[in-house]
Structure 1
């Protein structure tokens, strides 16, 4: 099976204090580059990153082997960014979706969720102590309907629930927490 990773990094990051696509770890690694590396290490053959806010500056932080998808309506919310990303997916059997604000996500979580999607008609999502989280794996047979179901600032949770996405417990590998606020002073991006 071929798998493509999709990193959602288009938003303005209002609560964060700036676009998360520009954020870096304490060691200086861009979150977008880290997400791409994690997806590849977890089993993705190709990686796309969805950009919007501060697109030019964010693009400069990406590794050369990552493809960029622009979300022209990124201001409409995560649904619009996710829709643009899913529409741009290349021919593959499965897509693994992660938001950029999980810089601590280990590749083992990606691999475990991906293992739960052995067929193009399957859906799975990571759960942490039973609570839904990311990554989400979408078999290619779902891409069009998933995209058509997206609305505004809503992600794909409703579609996943209605279509019986497998819950893959990953709490033993990661806490699933995203980073919504900067730990460092506002003059510097970081986790």
Structure 2
């Protein structure tokens, strides 16, 4: 289902956690936990400050093709077990922070961020990429850093990941979705790194 608030492209609601529509939220999992498993709009900034009263925007972590979380090729992520969110099939190897805040966990393939508002966001680079043991990843940050929206987190050799037979899709999920009112994502399609691709109701 889509909605349009008159301020940009239509957005598809993924999660509604208030009132009679409240759903059980998936448990928060630590960043790096490996489950077994263009548009015509110009890039819009995403950041730590609410974009409107009571909302926070999440930026695309990489340039590429935005896809629905249900289309991600991992059953745990696609079922929303780690939280609501989206994936981006990358056309670039630089993965950036979708929000600003504290970098609470770092692995070569996974980064956990906590915003000043308490939103917890996991950026997971690729599927089953933990098996690479850090190969083809060049982390640019350290745990404990304060990160700005759009700051580079890691440089990734996407062709090498594909050559290794793995899916390089970059996944972004909100792991503490039970603490927010709702999450909407933009309609799938081409995106630029940093372009606002989701809105969180705080």
Q: TM-score under structure 1 normalisation?
A: 0.30
Q: TM-score under structure 2 normalisation?
A: 0.29
Relative to total residues, which structure has the larger helix share, 1 or 2? 1
Greater RCO, CA 8 A, separation 6+: 2
